[in-house]
Amino acid sequence: MFPGGKCLYTTRQTKAMTVGADAEALTCPAGKRWLVFWGFITNNSGQAININVEITDGTNIIGGILYQAAAANGATYGWPRNDTDEPAGGISCSAFPIPMEAGQVLNFRWAADAGKAGNSYWYAYILEV
């Protein structure tokens, strides 16, 4: 049975890159639940940097790592992952969709680098119920 609800973020999202650490935080609103099915993150910052996609409980305690990598410039990474180098604490592809409760946060993070510029991109297929 497939739950009702609405799909969020139905188009690619843009994140402007700065020389500092950049992040996009999506918080599941009060009274809602999210089912996170899949997504991607790109690094178009002009530099090779570390990227992370993770779920927190709102106080930066990691609830699950969806993706973590040393990303070459121009690279796009999709999740869930199905490879042999998943990070410790990583969520396997067999666990999707991932349920998120109100207050939990889906974070996209691009590490700091003095040469970063331009735009990077992210997408998450989320069903809000």
- Each domain of the chain, given as residue ranges in start order, spans 6-128
What is the distance between the alpha carbons of residues 44 and 71, in angstroms, rounded to a whole number? 10
pLDDT grade, residue 1 (50/70/90)?
A: very low
pLDDT at 26: 94
Count H helices and E strands in the chain, helices first. 0, 10
pLDDT (mean) for 84-95? 57
Beta partners for residue 7, in sequence order: 127
Best-predicted range by mean pLDDT (40-54, 62-76, 91-105)? 40-54
Query: What CATH class has 6-128?
Result: mainly beta
pLDDT (tens digit per residue) in 8-58: 887 889 999 999 999 999 999 999 999 998 889 999 999 999 999 989 987
Q: Which residue has tokens 């604490």?
A: 89
pLDDT (mean) for 59-87? 77
